[in-house]
Amino acid sequence: MKILFIGDIYGKAGRLALHKYLPLIKEKYEVDFVILNAENTTHGRGLNIKNYAEIKNAGVDFITLGNHAFDNNEVCTLLKNKSDIIRPLNLKDVYDGDGSKVVKIKGMDVRISNVVGRVHVNMKGLTTLNPFDTLEDIVDFSKEKIHIVDIHAEATGEKKSFAKYFDGRVSAVIGTHTHVQTADNQVFKNGLAYISDVGYCGAYDSVLGVNNGAAILFSKDQDFKSNTPEEKGDLEFSAVYIDIDEETGKSNSIKRIYITPNKPEIELIN
């Protein structure tokens, strides 16, 4: 089974990158299912109904979220009414939507889960439960051979520890949130595919998708009101391509896709 997991879509530029590159990737490589983290899709904050339809029309099959999941109130309608979107499982006292769902891929039941980390993650008043314990409750009772997990977290150590803990019990743990693709894609000894962060899709000449001037104000002067997405210029597209054994649920390989103006080729990177 071939799964394409696309990094955080950031604003208009991210949606443009998705529409530009996803059809080409699906045409070039055998892709059975496309998962995307959409927590920054609408102007860098959350996901609205219009942009949900836009990314679905681009060819995305399933959507995960993160700490900005509820920055746009329309996402609550999506979580209540759509079967192809989840929010972090380990949010305390949040009842809109689910954090883990089973989908059909090639006639098989496949579970997709989403958790958020607890180290240096701004949850804006939301309380998070222990992601290890929360996911373990799902793993202990689920029967699906294939289980893909999005851990939306800041600290690479937290993400890798989480993945090591579940090695042999889930098929893949994919890190999101930092918007910088890491080069540590690997399959652990018990068959779990891992990357600390899959990266993001958006404006190449920006700071993680934010306009350079606004990002400098944010970092230099602690001006938290400035958070303008960069919508012009060249695009960046980040994803991972996971090959999972359908009989065992273990991953055979995980390869990166990283497209920039300096690396315009669509290729799988070991």
Catalytic positions are 68
Question: Which tokens sit at 152?
Answer: 């939306």
- Do 196 and 175 form a contact (C-beta atoms < 8 A)? yes
Distances in Å between the alpha carbon of 44 and those of 30, 58, 90? 30, 18, 22
Residue with tokens 């950031």, as numbered in its chain: 10
